[in-house]
Structure 1
Amino acid sequence: MNINEIKKYLGEDWKKTEGYISGAVKCEIGLLDSTNRLILSHSGKQLRPLLSVLVARACSGGKATDDSCRYAAGTELLHNATLLHDDVADDSDQRRGAPTIRAMMGPTVSVLIGDYWLVKAMELILDADTKNDRVIRMFSKTLSDLAEGELLQLQKAQSGDTDETDYTKIIFSKTASLFEAAALAAAISVEASAQIEEAVKDYAVSLGLAFQIKDDIFDYSPEMKTGKPAGVDILEQKITLPLLGAFANAGKEAEMSIRRKIINIADNPDGIRDEILSFVRENDGLGYARKVLDKYIEKAVSALEILRESPEKEYLKELAYFTGQRQS
């Protein structure tokens, strides 16, 4: 899938969205403005605002509103704010193959700039013409979900007892909740019916869950072009779906042995990481995770059936398939 082709197709709606993103973080303070421009230059695929604009147009016969573009831009600002905070929580030195703000300028600057982007996102959303209370409450809940997901993951990393129910709750809160907000805000911005809202919500949640599962597969796949080495999640004591799948295939005794090692990973970080990477490969944890990933992709595509046929609908399907196949 060609992301730039979709952006070109969206034309003025995408240009307006990009303008809201860059305009929101333009600042007279030199240090802040230059750092914001650096972050924008490493924006990645911008899937969340892309999804949001596509949904708005798919629900309205290709007629996104100014609010549609504002909400889409807000999702990108929120996403980048969470990354700036995540890099501090995870002591990350690299993201998307480039040094993080935390690595270059320290954790304090990264947190402050993350806070700044968070506020600017909410300003964009609050400045929408319709002042829709549902959208405001929805984005507020998303922020709560993001924080709760991060804290639940930290709690489970300490106890080493993450199961698949915990994992799904964590990845919904940390990832899928923002996809959900992006899609629902878009539908609300064009006054879509309740039935359509429910459909795009189902699409976005399934897509977000699939997206995070794919990221977690990358951590066990050193050949992928992610810009980070394999096994980072293991070193951070995060039990994700590939490892849970290996547990399911290997049996309880092997599972308990590996869980104990994760809790005590500080005793021999590199050795335990390499052992767990091998354990996941030998017990087909990646195959297990890919099956769950494929299930969510198909669920996302099926949710779109209610929408009228349009190029936007086809692009939304392509986004789903791309999520399952991406290499970075």
Structure 2
Amino acid sequence: MGVKENVQKPLDQLSAELATEMEAVNALIRQRMSSHHAPRIPEVTAHLIEAGGKRLRPMLTLATAKLAGYDGPFHIHLAATVEFIHTATLLHDDVVDESSQRRGRPTANLLWDNKSSVLVGDYLFARSFQLMVEPGNLRTLEILANASATIAEGEVLQLTAAQDLRTDEALYLQVIRGKTAALFSAATEVGGVIAGAPAAQVQAMFDYGDALGIAFQIVDDLLDYGGATQTIGKNVGDDFRERKLTLPVIKAVARADAEERAFWSRTIEKGDQREGDLEQALQLLARHGTMQAARQDALEWAGRAKAALQALPDHPIRAMLSDLADFVVSRVA
């Protein structure tokens, strides 16, 4: 299993459709990430925000707002809020994971220090709350505030679940629904809410974001074992080295014999990793077909995302969102 190249057309189409709105979002982000008193804040923030990310999550907010016929200014604020929340969590995650690479570049904690990354992440969270208040919509404020809490909860849950071989697929789903899908679903939901879409359509937007986020994270976990460093923007095998029980490994543990389980216990639970262990882990995943099985799960979640769109108005953006669900999974062959 590897990474498919040249499969970014759906994302490019959505980006082109929302180009004007995204320019406004990027301008607002640059304006609000500034600090007159602490120049390190824009330095650290710019390093990550300007690193070439696709801005997928804010685009989802813009897309659902446009799909629902919104013609006001505040979807820009909500999209920028979503990106600030996402960037803040990345800064914190890289400290927690002791990561050295993000989007193909050295992480902020490596270039500066852990204290700077944590404190700038805190600043961006604060900025996100300033932004989410400005539309004056209590429901969007509630959705984004709840998502921020859920993301933090998911990350803390992962701390205890990630290195425990008793972690099953249900707990894994709970973790990724918190740490990843919560922001996807909040991003899609607030677009509908700010546009005044009917409750059934807002629910469909939430369901789409939730399923898309789950599929996205499963694929991300697959890429850690099957992608090229220059393509995935991080080092292959980082999850293994960080002793994270992700879906391919959880499936392999469930199918392991006594000898294989002892290997997973030594490398994941006890952290006793030796030369050649990553290669052995890859062999065990291949032996039990767990990469393919996890990809099938991602395909099913992408299918759920596409099914949710059927409750939304017929619109070119709806077709792009459907293609986006296919794209998310097509990143792995």
Q: Structure 2-normalised TM-score?
A: 0.91
Quote the residue 2:18 is aligned against. Answer: 10
Unaligned 5+ runs, structure 2: 1-7
Structure 1 segment 1-328 matched on structure 2, within 5 A: 1-2=8-9, 3-28=11-36, 29-60=38-69, 63-128=70-135, 131-223=136-228, 225-248=231-254, 250-251=255-256, 253=258, 256-326=261-331
* Equivalent residue letter for 2:15: K
Say if 1:64 and 1:326 are closer, same or farther in 2 by CA, change over 3 A.
Answer: farther
User: Would the alpha carbon gap of residues 284 and 196 (structure 1) be closer, same or farther in structure 2, given more than 3 Å must change?
Assistant: same
8 Å Cα contact 1:75/1:121 also seen in 2: yes
Q: Secondary structure at the match of 1:220?
A: helix
Give the 3-state SS of the residue equivalent to 2:225 in structure 1.
Answer: coil
Amino acid at match of 1:31: R
Tell whether the 8 Å contact from 1:102 to 1:110 is kept in structure 2 after alignment: yes
**Cross-structure match for 2:4:** none
Deviation of 1:238 after TM superposition, in Å, equals: 1.1
- The 3 A distance-change label for structure 1 pair 208 and 222 is closer
**1:101 Cα deviation (Å)?**
0.4
Sort the Cα spacing of 1:290 and 1:254 in 2 relative to 1 into closer, same or farther, 3 A. Answer: farther
| Preserved contact between residue 22 and residue 40 of structure 1 (Cα < 8 Å) | no
Once residues 44 and 91 of structure 2 are traced to their aligned partners in structure 1, the CA distance between those partners, rounded to angstroms, is 12
Deviation at 1:263, TM superposition (A): 4.2
CA distance in 1, matches of 2:312, 2:167: 37
Q: Distance in 2 between matches of 1:64 and 1:289?
A: 40
Conserved? CA contact 1:53–1:64, under 8 Å? no
Number of residue pairs matched by the alignment: 323
* Range that drifts further, 162-171 or 263-272: 263-272
Runs of 4+ in 1 over 6 A off after TM superposition: none
Maintained 8 Å contact 1:93/1:103: yes
RMSD: 2.0
Return closer, same or farther for 1:165/1:8 CA change in 2, 3 Å cut-off: same
Distance in 2 between residues matched to 1:256 and 1:5, nearest whole Å: 45
Letter in 1 for 2:325: A
* Structure-2 separation of matches of 1:258 and 1:142: 37
The unaligned stretches of length 5 or more in structure 1 are none
Q: Which amino acid aligns with 1:80?
A: T
Q: Which has the higher contact order (CA 8 A, sep 6+)?
A: 2
Q: Check whether the contact 2:266–2:273 (CA below 8 A) recurs between aligned residues.
A: no
Q: 1:191 to 1:222 in 2, by over 3 A?
A: closer
CA gap of 1:18–1:139, structure 2 versus 1, over 3 A, is same
Tell me how far 1:4 sits from its aligned partner: 4.2
8 Å contact from structure 2 (residues 85, 125) kept in 1: yes
Q: 1:125 to 1:263 in 2, by over 3 A?
A: same
- Once the two structures are TM-superposed, the CA of residue 220 in structure 1 deviates from its matched residue by 1.0
Identity across matched positions, percent? 32
Q: TM-score with structure 1 length normalisation?
A: 0.92
